[in-house]
Amino acid sequence: MHPGAWWIWAISLGTAATRTTNPLLLALLIAASAYVVATHRSSAPWARSYSAFAKLAFAVLLIRLVFAVALGSPIPGTHVLLTLPEIPLPHWAQGIRLGGEVTAEALVFAAYDGLKLATLLICVGAANALASPSRLLKSLPGALYETGVAVVVALTFAPHLIADVQRLRAARRLRGRPDRGVRGLLQVGLPVLEGALERSVALAAAMEARGYGRTADVPARIRRTTAALTLGGLLGVCAGTYGLLTAEGGSYGAPLLLAGIVAALAGLRLGGRRSPRTRYRPDPWGPRAWLVTGSGVAVAALLTLASSRAPEALHPGVVPLTAPTLPLWPAASILLALLPAFVVPREHS
């Protein structure tokens, strides 16, 4: 399976999560991504990062609720759960409240908002657990090779760090030494940092031995054309994405996004001439990759359509406080995200 297909699938699910605050639909997105990860992730160290992203998502949800309790919420409410001591603030801090009444409406609104961000983080974690970073780097265009190396190194740092911490804690437990609390963390931290430094030095040596950073000479006209196409394409992608995410930009968002993608791809194609690289056994983009990509894009497109056709179902109200309902056809469209679990063979590594 091409690693880019997994990333497009996961990003599409994250895009679908941004179109709704319905906790039932968000729970379906989390369950679909978790099932695919559980059935298709390998035993490689980078595949263990999904649990770390899930813990991070849970922490984000808790922090959002704590902020709603401590700093108040702009959402009015009548169901007061508790009243905290309110700290008076100066006049220049108007609009900010520390303490005061905590209402059920404010907590539910904060939970909906935090769950949406948590779902987005879990979808990104699914991409990290399913797509091999080294294969993803090999699949990047030549113009993005240097940037891709930096991104892949950054993405693999956290999984390797988690693996080192688990290995050292297991070793300390076998020796009868404490592995929890502040003392255990301090005694584990130094070997973890030492291992990270050794990997950085080994990576730098390997990159130097393989001629990393070597570029070819291209005419100045092609360099200027490449820069103009790439910069203009990225600006078009940003503006088109903003238009799609706002209600007012629905008319110009899609055409601007498509034009930006075409210009950016043309710039990347020309920019690849500066990187004289060859690929050994490149990953093919086969029918399974198209099915995985199409399932994710279909979920994002259908949830976007549902947010405009039935906004009250995808955004349950909190004032007055009502229980969320499960809309049938948006929920059925999320089930398309399970298609990779049945069409992609499992990897054993």
pLDDT at 32: 92
pLDDT at 30: 92
Whether residue 151 lies inside any domain: the answer is yes
How far is residue 225 from each of residues 236, 266, 336, measured CA to CA in Å?
A: 16, 10, 41
CB 31 within 8 A of CB 336: no
Residue 123 shares a structural domain with residue 227: no
pLDDT at 29: 92
Residue for token pair 């899930």: 54
Residues 188/189/194/196 CA torsion (nearest 10 deg)? 110
Residue 259 shares a structural domain with residue 207: no
Residues 194/128/36/32 CA torsion (nearest 10 deg)? 120
Residue 211 shares a structural domain with residue 246: no
Last residue in a domain, options 247, 274, 301: 274
Residue 123 shares a structural domain with residue 145: yes
Domain limits for position 263:
218-274
Residue 162 shares a structural domain with residue 194: yes
Whether residue 112 lies inside any domain: the answer is yes
Give dist(CA 211, CA 52) in Å, integer: 34
Residue 159 shares a structural domain with residue 197: yes
The 10 Å Cβ neighbour count of residue 78 is 10
Last residue in a domain, options 226, 253, 274: 274
The tally of domains found in the chain comes to 2
Sites in the chain below the pLDDT cut of 50: 349
Residue 137 shares a structural domain with residue 257: no
Residue 136 shares a structural domain with residue 246: no
Q: How many CA atoms lie within 13 A of 115 on its CB side?
A: 19
Whether residue 349 lies inside any domain: the answer is no
Whether residue 348 lies inside any domain: the answer is no
The 10 Å Cβ neighbour count of residue 24 is 17
- Provide the whole-model pTM: 0.69
CB 108 within 8 A of CB 133: no
CB 23 within 8 A of CB 88: no
pLDDT at 44: 74
Give dist(CA 166, CA 161) in Å, integer: 9
